[in-house]
Amino acid sequence: GDMHPIATSATFLGAHAVPKEYKGRADEYIDFVIETVLPAVKKQRLASACDIFCETGVFDAEQSRRLLAAAKSLGFKLRVHADEIDEIGGAQLAGELGALSAEHLIATGERGADALAAGGVTAVLLPQTSFYLDKRYAAARMMIEKGIPVVIASDFNPGSCPSYDLQFAMTLGCLKYKMTPEEVLTAVTINAACAVGMESRIGTIEIGKQADLVLWNAPDLETVCYRFGVNLAHIVIKNGEKVV
């Protein structure tokens, strides 16, 4: 029944754009998602979290609030794609609703960061997106100084970041976010596990956790962050089984 958490870290991304058939009618689309789609996703246990793209030309802060409030009442964890291009209130909304994570945050300033910190939200930063779009980089140091857990992820997608090279994202974390290699390692391991609510199973090398390991062809952590454009992964172990 509903007492058991859904055994998936999948996120519902139905509100990532306004479909063609709803062009100019974003409010109606949000109604449709709230009334029809979300209950079906919950019933079929397809996802444990609900996301929305709160951005100029997509969904505004009020539309985002409506969808996320409805999702929260159905028991979904919340995520917000926020402040990728413009700061229109996505980060504040994520903090206010206690979202599990907020993604992008390229344009997030002090107010948005304070809201994230107050709401216990994990900041998922996507440096390859800034690189590919030739945009500024998220204010990672400010977020870290405010006590916000920072994640670095790839953002592999066809529109704004056609790369799944996590190692290059780690290099950019050092070069562009001014993070230390230790902070970067934390950002791609335990903080990333927390961002999907799976920190009790993955994210650190501990007895009792899932054995997901990468052995790097590098003498030290600094080298992993320093070398870019080269795959330094030597052995990949998933669930205790060597896969590469």
pLDDT in tens, 124-137: 999 999 999 999 99
Using only the alpha carbons of the chain, give its radius of gyration. 18
pLDDT at residue 3, as a whole number: 46
Helix (H) or strand (E) holding 119: helix 110-119
Please list the ranges in the chain whose pLDDT falls under 70. Answer: 1-7
pTM of the full structure: 0.93
pLDDT at residue 197, as a whole number: 87
pLDDT at residue 8, as a whole number: 72
Handedness of CA 83, 89, 94, 95 (dihedral sign): positive
Token representation of residue 114: 């304070």
Measuring CA to CA, which residue among 162, 166, 163 is closest to residue 124? 166
CA–CA separation, 8 vs 87, rounded Å? 31
Backbone phi and psi for residue 94, each to the nearest 5 degrees, phi listed first: -60, -45
> Is the distance from CB of 74 to CB of 12 less than 8 angstroms?
no
pLDDT at residue 9, as a whole number: 78
pLDDT at residue 48, as a whole number: 93
pLDDT at residue 5, as a whole number: 52
